[in-house]
Structure 1
């Protein structure tokens, strides 16, 4: 398993195929070609990208 790039926590729950949720900082993570796409879940259930807050290296998955 990998760590959350935001809080470095390992308390991740699987919510779908290649989709995870961090229970420490409440963000959604999607895996695409060994890179994470990071999203904030809005109050209406939509997702806002947080990818621009992290470098490409921070979003690389270290299995």
Structure 2
């Protein structure tokens, strides 16, 4: 997946459909509507990282 496809894919949050997506790192985004981190691996797998109130990851979900 090239950079253009990643940007197009991250217009909306895959969890809630919200549009308040910000970029954290090269392949990592954060939705400020549902407070979920979205990570895209080199193999184009998409993971949702659900955070606790103190910032720790409490759940990691792979989207298919």
Structure 2 length as normaliser, TM-score?
A: 0.66
Unaligned runs of 5+ in 2: 1-7
Where does structure 1 differ by over 2 angstroms across 4 or more consecutive aligned residues?
A: none
Q: 1:47 aligns with which of 46, 49, 57?
A: 57
RMSD: 1.8
- Name the structure 2 match of 1:18: 27
Local SS of the residue matching 1:39: strand
Aligned length: 54
